[in-house]
Every structure is written in structure tokens, then in C-alpha cells.
Amino acid sequence: MVFMFRHRFAAAFIYWYSIALFAPAFGQVPQVNKKDGEKMERSVLLNEWSGPYGGVPPWNLVREDEFLSAFTTAIQEADAEIDLIANAQEEATFENTLLAMEGAGKGLNRLSAMFFVYASNLNLGPIGDIEKVVVPKLTEHEDRIYQNAKLFQRITSVYESDAMTNGELDVAERRLVEDRYKTFLRKGAKLNSQEKAQLSQINTRLARLFTDFSQNVLEDENGYVTWVSDESDLKGLPESVVKAMANAAKERDQKGGGWAVTNTRSSMDPFLTYADSRSLRETVWRNYYNRGDNGDEFDNNKIITEILRLRAVRAKLLGYQTHAHWRMEPTMAKDPQAAMDLMLKVWPKAVARVGEEVADMQAIADAEKSNIKIEPWDYRYYAEKVRKEKYDLDFNEVKPYLQLDKLREGMMWASTQLYGLQYSKISGVPVFHPDVTVWEVKDQNGHHVGLWYLDPYARGGKRSGAWMTDYRAQENYRGDIKPIVSNNSNFIGGEEGEPVLISWDDAVTLFHEFGHALHGLVSKVRYPSQSGTNVARDYVEFPSQLNEHWLDTPEVLNRFAVHYKTGEPIPQALLDKIKKASTFNQGFGTVEYLASALIDMKLHLAGDVEIDPDQFERETLAEMGMPTELPMRHRTPQFMHIFSSDSYSAGYYSYLWSDALTADAAERFSEAGSFYDEEVAKSLHDNVMSIGDTIDPAEGFRRFRGRDVDTTALLRKRGFPID
């Protein structure tokens, strides 16, 4: 998520049956044929993963032209597996129905894991067109599962059986049955045949629109570059940023100038923070915040209008008041009002803080006789001046101590102290790009835990932001299957042979994404659909946001925040300044995020009215009292969280919901006197990190904290007044 885009999987389709790799218990799958009597050549992409560590993705064997035919085969095989479960003659039981479903679709899972890594990280050449074909097919397959009346009847039989109440099934098993039953209900299992057909049409159309939306944003990220040819326009920029811009220009091999600002957050943010050229800051800002909103063939406004209309129709068809009500039913918050209540508790305090921040910035601009009013492209630039004036803190002084590789070592070290994990960089394992490195993870006794892949750098065809992906989920109900996870970022590479220096915000994001990876790695559950990050949307960001707190612990900074030239640790005086300024600019950070979260919720509470996205955004922000000096974090035409899939739709609030949990959980470590307190760390592992979705997340938090969440901790964390 991950900036706040910390999204664990880039695909527009996420499988209900999770990632399961064992053959189903119900027998062999029929061979899929091209024609009667003629066998289709089976793609290597459908084979079980072989090699060390329980098998690894065979990236070295991927041929892009095989994806479409492989998906045809994999979907047909998965359909056949589901039909075998649904049409079984034996009385439905937990084992022959729910567990059989956990094991179904293994070939499709493996293929999808690999393809959507390509779609997120290597979306070049034919991949975009393949995605437009594949995603609707996957959606149709999903609908065939949820609309299978015989399968639903078998699930219902187990759900209504004595096994759910007589102790035959344990807590995790009962939760699995209940979740599966309720998910089928939410996906239209009880609709009549005509309604099911209408639902399938809506879902298939949405799948295509989601893909088109994503491809359009990617086109604008790749298509808009701010070229700098005059060296004087680099004034104010740190040396590391200038070098990164030079490298970006070389990679594009164009004659637009000696330096390039690419249209990604990791490139835009430092330029807006330090560049003295106001006109170039405005150009970079407009390029970035107008993605998907340029009135050309890649404009997303009409797509958004149709997505919102179809979501509203679907919600009514399924018996829900709005799409927001449908999406939020399985979350911790349960309904939109609970999410709105939390957001509106914070919003006025954050807006008031922005007013204070803008006044401080305007005072500096006036003192400089710049004769300007603070605009969105000025906010980061003047905020940095205020930081220097108020706290004597210049993050240019901090950046030489923030080496990407050293901070990676630091977050690994912290996880060793907390969870006993050990890391060894390995070679000989296929990767999908030369930028990718792989680590084997072991526990404190030397036993294999899983693999962690890191893909840190920006490149053409890679979507912006940062995210975590499951290649394979942990499970142990049919063998001890270890997880394979990855972190993906968009850092700008430095000069050959020199360390990559990152900003403080990027360092926070690095630790955040690793928190998602840890959530997957330390999972200790039986069933893949309950494993790791397969938890409620407004709970999944809790472990990752909590992991951010280990970045600024003295133990990490003193060991791993060392100067890239001298090797000296970051001075204590500088650490003191960072701590003192910890709540600085929280107005900006909170308002830009909350504006996006509130727009998301309001769009999906609007019902089936026709919505012009630009107009809705403009008028709603004005009604909310949005400060004009800053934008939403994700403007509507580029809001990948909510329009590239259903995943975060009516769910972007979840970062704030999770941060309320995070702030309260962090205070437990503070109360214990250390973020490395062994007792608290063990409780975090046992009640949050390792248990996945085997129990209700509220109960897991309650066991860790000893009580329900105290939301005032969130206000304390952000430095806002408590009423």
C-alpha cells in the first residue's frame, strides 16, 4: 500500500480459494482437449513448481505467448475440479467439501501468481492485451463457482450440520465453514437463474473496466516525463536526487534533457520537496496528479462512471443498500457508518492542523518576498523550510544515512529480535528480472520458514507505488507448505557501484511493506485461505503499519542508519531532532489520505445516481472543507486502490482503522519500556502475526492488548488534540 498504496496483490482478481498447491482428494482431473481425441500440449506454466525450498516459480521458463492457452487449460481444469466436488454422491462433510475446495485450482493458482507478477512488474509488450482477455475469463470462472447450486447446497449442509455445534470442528474449522457460506451468500448463491445471469454480466464487464483503468494509469505513468536540460533548474535538489534523475534520463535513452523526473511518487516527491524552480514543480505536480484525467484516449472518467453504476446495480441485486454496505459486511467495521464516524472524528482536527501548517509556510514565503500564495506544488517545498526553521531538521542531512541496503538489513535484524528469523541471500533460484534478489528465511532453530523476494527499483512497465505479493501461501493441512512472498518498490537507482539513498518517507514504506511480508512468513495455520494476510481488509494493514515503528527505534538507527561515505552512525543530535519533529506535517499527511478515503466512501454510498467523477470530486471536497493548498493523495481518475479491482473499494478507510489499532498496540510496547520486549513481542506473534484469519481479528487484538482498542491513541500518535 504502500505512500498509502500498500496493496498486497496487483491483480484485479483474487481467488476465493486462496493459493493451494496439493492435488485435491477427489481424484484426477480430466484431460482438456483441443478437439475430440486430440490432446492440447500442456504448458510448463501449469506444472507443479519444482526445485529447492518445496518448489519455486520457474520464471526462467516463462514464455509470454503461452499465457492465454495456459489459462484456458487451467480454468477448464479448475472448473472440472469444482464440478467433482459439487456432484459428489457422498453426504457433504467438512473434509469432502470445504477441504476439497481448499485444494482445488492448484494449477490456476500457480499460473495466476506468475501472470499477475508480470502484469504488475513487467507490463510491457503483449502483457497488457493478455490481461484484458484473462481477467474477464477469471471472473466468469469465479461466478461459475459461486453460482453452482449443488456446491452451495453441500456447503450449506455442512454449515447447518451438528458438526458446527457439537465440538467435532475446532474454532478455525468452524470459521472456515462460516466464512465460505457467507461469502457464497454475498456473491449471489441464492439468486434465481435470471439474476445470476445478470450478475455474471456485471462482473465480467467490471473485470474489463478494472483492467482498462489500470492500463490507462500505467500509460500516463510511462508517457509523462518532465525533462530538464538546463542545469540551473536543478538548484535546491540534493546530489542523490540529481543522480537519480540522470539515471532515469539514461534509462529512457531520449534527448529530452540530461535529467528526468518520471511520473511516479518516488520521483515526484523529492523533486517537489527540494526543487527551487516553482514552474517545474508545477509541471511535475500536474503530470502526476492528472494521471488518468487528461481528456485523451487514456482518460478514466467515463470508466469510473460506468464502474460506479455497475457496482450500485450489483449491490441492489444482491440485496444491499449500496456497494459500500456490501463491501463492508465482512470487515471489522461492519458498516459504512462506523468507518465514517472514525474518519470524521479525525478530519476536522487534521484540517485545523493544515491551517496552522499553511500559515507557517505562507509566513516564510512572505518573508522571502516571493509574492505567492501557497499552492499544492508549493506545500512540500515550504513544509521543508518550516521543518528547518522550527526543528532545525533538514532531511537532506538525514538522507546520507539512509542507504537502502543497510535499512533492509535493519528491518531484517529487527525481525530477528522479535520473531527469531534468520536470513540468507541465495542464488540459483529463477527470478523474473535481474533487479530481484531472493533470501531464504529460517527460524531460530535453523528450520526453513519461507522465501522472500525483493524487487526494489522502478522501471518501464512496472506500476508505481509499493506492495507485497504472495507467490505461495503457508499451509500445513496436507503437508508442511512454506510461504513465498515478495516486496516490490519503485526506488530510483543510483550511480553504478554507489549505494541507493532513500528518503525518510521511503524508509517508512520499506518497513511497512516488510510488515506485510512478515505477516505472510510467520503464518502458522492449517488452511491456505486463512493464512498470513488473508484477513479482513481493515485489519490487514495493522501488522504492516505496526512494523513501521521499528524504523525509528534507537537499536535500528544506531546500527543501520550509517553514513554512506564514512560509515559513521547517524548522530544522536540528529536522532533527537527526528523524534522531536515526529508529528510535524501530520496535517498534510492525514488530510491528503482522509480526503481520498472519504471520497471513496461517499462515491460508494451515492447509490445508482449518474456520477461525473471530476465534478463529484470537486464539489464533495468543497463541501468537506478541503484545504485548497493540497490535493487528495489519490485523485479519483488514478485511484488504483478502488478502481483497479473491488479489493479496496469502499475500503480505503482501512488504513486509518488499522492505524487506530497500530497506535494502541505501539503504546503497549512503550508501556513495556522497549519495542523489543520479549513478552510483548511473543504476544504479538501468537495473537496477531501467526494466526491469520483463524479467529475474529477483534478477538486477536483483544488478546494482545488485554482490552478493546482505544482510538484516542491514534490522536496522540498524530499529535492532534483529544476532546
pLDDT in tens, 550-577: 999 999 999 999 999 999 999 999 999 9
- Confidence (pLDDT) at 687: 98
DSSP 45: G
pLDDT in tens, 383-425: 999 999 999 999 889 999 999 999 999 999 999 999 999 999 9
For 155: left if phi > 0, alpha if psi spans -120 to 50, otherwise beta; the answer is alpha
- Confidence (pLDDT) at 40: 53
Would you say domain 401-569 falls under CATH 3.40.50.1000?
A: no
What are the structural domain ranges in the chain? 33-215, 224-289, 401-569
- Per-residue DSSP letters for 514-581? HHHHHHHHT---S-GGGSTT-S-HHHHHHHHHHHGGGTTSHHHHHHH-B-TTT-PBPPHHHHHHHHHT
Burial class (CB in 10 A: 0-12, 13-18, 19+), 226: buried
Taking 50 as the pLDDT cut, the residues of the chain under it are 1-39
Same fold flag, 33-215 and 401-569: yes
Q: Is the pTM of this model over 0.75?
A: yes
- Confidence (pLDDT) at 464: 85
Fold (topology level) of 33-215: Neurolysin; domain 3 (1.10.1370)
Q: Is 513 a catalytic residue?
A: yes
- Confidence (pLDDT) at 254: 62
- Confidence (pLDDT) at 255: 63
The one catalytic residue in 142, 513, 541, 629 is 513
d(CA 481, CA 22): 9
Residue among 474, 520, 441 at smallest CA distance from 8: 520
